[in-house]
Amino acid sequence: MTPKTLSLIASITLLALIALCLAWEAILAPLRPGGSWMTLKVLPLMVALFGILRGKRYTYQWSSMMILLYLTEGVVRTNDPAPGNALALAEAVLSVIFFVVVVLYARNTAPSRLARASDNEA
């Protein structure tokens, strides 16, 4: 896949994860009735969003580690009562997709790979 395609998938997945986390903790299955402070968990995702949308390689690198926290939360909370368990599974799936895509993007846009590609074209 091209870096542009990977960037698009990463952006869509991250936006979906932000929407899921907000809806989950505010409306669909909050930990406390009426919503909870857990909605603040989207703040690191929002910080990453701006770098992902701009194609900043460094953001792809650090967000690949940060997303593992969301994967962990999704896996742990699959034992929640419905509908929380389905939402947790969706969070885990989106986290895995995002992780794979950002790792591939960071790998494909590495300066050493780009230099090698330009040497092969010359």
Using the predicted structure, report yes or no on whether residue 115 has a pLDDT greater than 80.
no
Confidence of residue 36 (pLDDT cuts 50, 70, 90): confident
Give residue 35's pLDDT. 75
Which of 3, 13, 32 shows the shortest CA–CA distance to 104?
Answer: 3
Instruction: Give the contacts of 107 (CB within 8 A, at least 6 positions apart).
Output: 113
Using the predicted structure, report yes or no on whether residue 34 has a pLDDT greater than 70.
yes
Instruction: Convert the pLDDT of each residue in 20-32 to its tens digit.
Output: 999 999 999 887 7
Using the predicted structure, report yes or no on whether residue 118 has a pLDDT greater than 80.
no
The tokens describing 49, both together, are: 């969003």
pTM of structure: 0.89
